[in-house]
Amino acid sequence: MQHNLVREFGYSDEAVQLLRRAPQLYQDDPAFRTTQVYVRNNIASRGNLKEGMLAPDCPLVPLMNDKTIIQLRSLYRPERPFVLLAGSYTCPLYRYISHVLNDIYSLYKNDVDFYMIQIREAHASDVWPIGNIVEVKEHRTLEERLTAARTMVEATQLEIPVLADTMDNTFLNLYSPWPFRFFNNSTTVIHAEI
C-alpha cells in the first residue's frame, strides 16, 4: 500500500525505503519519538524471510503448559499444509477478522494445521494505544504474555490453537509478522501473504 501511494504521487520506491529509515537516520529528532512504535523500532522489517525459503525453527510456549518450550518444527506434519498466523489482542485488525479466522479454521481444520502465535502487543496501552477498546500493557514477563494470549482467545472466541512467542521475541524477529501476516508452510517452505 505504501509503495502504491508513493507511486501515485510520483515518487520512487526508494522514497518509501528512505521514509522507513528516517527514524534510524534522525534518532535525535523529537518528531520521531512519537512515530508509530513498529516504525520507530523498525519491527515491520525485522527478519529476512522470503518466499521459497526453508521455514526457520524457533521456540514457542503452549498456553496451557507454560513450563514447556516446544519447537515450531515439532508441530509440522509433512502430509498436511501448515498455516501460521501471528497477532495480538490489541491489534484492531486481528480483533476485526477473528471471526473470519474461525470460519476458515472450521472449514479446513480436518485437512490443514493452523496455529496462532501471540506476539508482542501491537498497541499496548503503555506504548502505542489506539482508542480505549482494549487495555493490555506491554508484556514484561512470560506470564503476562500468556495471560494476554488467554484473554485474546476468550474475548475473540478463537478456536485456532494458540502458542506464545518467547520473551526474547524469537518468532517476531525471525518471521517479522508485523503488522499482520499469514504464513502457508508446505514442506517447510515459506509462502507469505501480507
pLDDT at 67 over 50: yes
Question: What is the number of structural domains in the chain?
Answer: 2
Structural domain boundaries, residue 65: 51-193
What pairing do the DSSP bridges indicate for beta strands 82-87 and 70-71? unpaired
55 and 28 inside one domain? no
Question: Looking at residues 101-105, what average pLDDT do you find?
Answer: 92
Backbone angles phi, psi at 60, to 5 degrees: -140, 160
Q: Does residue 178 surpass a pLDDT of 60?
A: yes
pTM of the model: 0.71
Which of 1-10, 54-63, 118-127 is predicted least confidently? 1-10
- For residue 151, what is the domain's CATH number? 3.40.30.10
Q: pLDDT tens for residues 16-47?
A: 555 556 656 666 766 555 555 555 555 555 56
Residue 179, preceding peptide bond in cis (omega within 30° of 0): yes
The closest alpha carbon to 45, from 19, 63, 69, 70, belongs to 19
**Structural domain includes residue 44:** no
Q: What is the pLDDT of residues 121-135, one digit of tens each?
A: 776 666 666 665 777
Rounded CA separation 142/140 (Å): 7
Given a cut of 50, whether residue 194 has pLDDT beyond it is: no
Backbone angles phi, psi at 71, to 5 degrees: -95, 140
Q: SS3 for 100?
A: helix
> Of 90, 79, 81, whose CA–CA distance to 133 is shortest?
90
